[in-house]
Amino acid sequence: MKFEPSYLYSKAEELYKEGLSCSQIGDLLGLNRKKVSSYLKSKGIQVKVIAGNHNKEEIKQKYLKGEELFIDGMSIRSITKKLHLGRQGFSYWLKKRGHIIKSNNNYKPDNFEEKLLLGESIFKKEKSVLIAAREAKVSYYALLDFLDEKGIDTQIDKRYKINENVFENIDTPEKSYWLGFLYADGYINKERNYIELTLKESDKLHIEKFKKFLSTSTPIKNKEIIGSNGKLYKACTLFIYRKKIMNDLINLGCIENKSLKLSFPQSGLIPKELIRDFVRGYFDGDGSLNFSSRRNRQECTVNFIGTRRFLEELRKELDLPTRKLDRNGQAFSLRYSGVKIPLRVLEYMYKDAGIYLERKYNRYLEFLDIRDKVEIDKLAHLHKKDERYQKAAKLFLEGKSIRYISKRLGISRDNLSTWLKLNGYKVKLSRPFSQKELEYRKSQKQEIIGMHEEGYSISKIRRNTGCNFYTIKKIIELNNPHNNSI
In this prediction, residue 335 has a pLDDT band, given cuts at 50, 70 and 90, of very high
- The CATH number of whichever domain residue 189 belongs to comes to 3.10.28.10
* One domain for residues 274 and 413: no
Bridge partners of residue 223, in order along the sequence: 235
Q: Does residue 248 lie within any of the structural domains?
A: yes
In this structure, are 215 and 343 located in the same domain? yes
Element spanning 308, H or E: helix 308-317
Between CA 20 and CA 45 the distance in angstroms is 14
**Better pLDDT: 196 or 106:** 196
| Residue 154 to residue 191: CA distance in whole angstroms | 13
**Treating both helix axes as pointing N-terminal to C-terminal, what angle do 469-479 and 413-422 enclose, rounded to 10 degrees?**
30
* pLDDT tens, residue by residue, 253-310: 998 888 778 999 998 899 999 999 999 999 999 999 988 766 556 678 999 999 999 9
**283 in the same domain as 218:** yes
Residues 313 and 395 placed together within one structural domain of the fold: no
Strands 194-200 and 186-189: antiparallel
The number of CA neighbours under 13 Å toward the Cβ of 241 is 15
Q: Any idea which of 34-38, 296-300, 382-386, 448-452 has the lowest mean pLDDT?
A: 296-300
Edge-to-edge strands of the sheet including 287-294?
287-294, 297-306, 331-338, 326-328
Distance CA 266, CA 247 (A): 16
- What residues have CB less than 8 Å from 274, skipping those under 6 apart? 170, 171, 172, 173, 175, 176
- Confirm if 197 and 203 have CB atoms less than 8 A apart: no
Torsion (CA) 365, 366, 371, 375 in degrees, nearest 10:
100
**Same domain for 181 and 322?**
yes
- In terms of phi and psi (left: phi > 0; alpha: psi -120 to 50; beta: otherwise), the region of 230 is left
Domain C-terminal end among 321, 356, 391: 356
**Chain segment 214-267, per-residue pLDDT in tens:** 999 889 988 877 666 666 778 899 999 888 999 999 999 998 888 778 999 998
Does residue 132 fall inside a structural domain? no
Structure confidence at residue 1 (pLDDT): 33
196 inside domain? yes
Whether 288 and 409 map to the same domain: the answer is: no
Q: Are residue 341 and residue 464 in the same domain, yes or no?
A: no
Give the model's pLDDT for residue 176: 96
* 440 and 340 assigned to the same domain: no
Sheet containing 232-240: order of strands: 49-50, 221-226, 232-240, 194-200, 186-189
Same domain for 212 and 277?
yes
**DSSP 3-state assignment of 234?**
strand
344 shares its domain with 429: no
Tell me 50's DSSP state.
Answer: E
- Please, what is the Cα angle at 133 between 130 and 135, to 5 degrees? 110
**Distance in angstroms (rounded) separating the CA atoms of residues 168 and 24:** 41
Secondary structure class of 92 (helix, strand, coil):
helix
Full DSSP string of 182-221:
HHHHEEEETTTTEEEEEEEGGGHHHHHHHHHHTT--PPPE
What is this structure's pTM?
0.60
Q: Where are the alpha helices (DSSP H) in 351-434?
A: 358-397, 402-409, 413-422
Q: Is residue 288 part of a domain?
A: yes
Q: Which residue has the higher pLDDT, 481 or 31?
A: 31
How many domains does the structure of the chain reveal?
Answer: 2
Q: Which residues contact 79 (CB under 8 A, 6 or more apart)?
A: 66, 69, 70, 85, 90
pLDDT at 482: 53
* In-domain check, residue 105: no
Virtual torsion, Cα 216, 222, 225, 227, nearest 10 deg? 60
Q: Choose the final residue of a domain: 306, 327, 356.
A: 356
- Are 347 and 423 within one domain? no
Mean pLDDT of 428-451: 77
Which residue among 304, 327, 356 closes a domain?
356
pLDDT of 279? 97
Mean pLDDT estimate for the chain:
82
* Dist. CA 160–CA 347, nearest whole Å: 38
How many C-alpha atoms does 324 have within 13 Å on its Cβ side? 2
- Are residues 207 and 343 located together in one domain of the fold? yes
Cα atoms in the Cβ-side hemisphere of radius 13 Å centred on 109: 10
Instruction: Please answer whether residues 303 and 333 qualify as being in contact, where contact means their C-beta atoms are separated by less than 8 angstroms.
Output: yes
Q: Is the dihedral of CA 15, 222, 55, 178 positive or negative?
A: negative
Q: Which range has highest mean pLDDT (11-25, 310-324, 471-485)? A: 310-324
What are 187's strand-pairing partners?
196
Distance CA 400, CA 377 (A): 31
**SS3 assignment, position 395:** helix
Question: What is the rounded average pLDDT of the residues 368-385?
Answer: 70
- What digits encode the pLDDT tens for the residues 307-320? 999 999 999 999 99
Q: Tell me if 343 is assigned to some domain.
A: yes
Cα Rg of the chain (Å, integer): 35
Domain with 458 in it = 377-479
